Amino acid sequence: MKKRRAYIYLTLSALLATVCLGTLVWMVIMLGNENEALQTAQILKKEQTSKDVFTASVQSLARDTLEQRNALKNLTADASAVEALEMIEAAGETARVSVSIDSVGSGNEEGVFERITVSMRAEGSFSRLIHFVSLLDTLPIPAYVEQYGIDKTESGGWQIRVREHMLLEKAS
């Protein structure tokens, strides 16, 4: 009888230990899942914060350049090459950067349009150069940037080199 009681106690103890061990393993698994969910939530929150900061900076840039962009929109879209270069220089003056047009080349004719290639440099602070590029993007001339590069100058400022193709209406 004592052996039987001891056997029952031993069996119940083993069963209780198994249940406790199973509960412990289950709790560890659940904590791991919660930790993964928490890490995923933190990553998503960081991504959302980055998106919010980017959106705020783009909106700020749009607000800051609204007046200049509206002034540039008053220029005509059927500009000649000289007028296009004047627009680029006006964008540089508006952004308060020093613009130097290195070369202008005539390219292929595409229907009623003539493609010209403009190579230019601008110097100034980094933020003003970014402002200049944003103004170039708003010029009322169909254009695309083929190549650009930004470098730090020896004097501590910044310099951007841009090669841009523009489509201009052919002179009649």
**Identity of the amino acid at 88:** I
- As a whole number of Å, the end-to-end CA separation of the chain is 119
Which of 107, 109, 116, 47 has the alpha carbon at shortest distance from 79? 116
Q: For residue range 132-148, list pLDDT tens digits in order.
A: 988 888 888 888 888 88
Instruction: Please give the DSSP secondary-structure letter assigned to residue 141.
Output: S
User: pTM of whole model > 0.75?
Assistant: no
Which CATH fold topology does 77-169 show? Alpha-Beta Plaits (3.30.70)
Q: Give 170's DSSP letter.
A: P
Tens digits of residue pLDDT in 78-136:
467 888 889 899 999 999 999 999 998 887 666 667 888 999 999 999 989 988 988 88
Alpha-carbon distances of 15 from 18, 19, 25, 35, 95, rounded to whole Å: 5, 6, 15, 30, 79
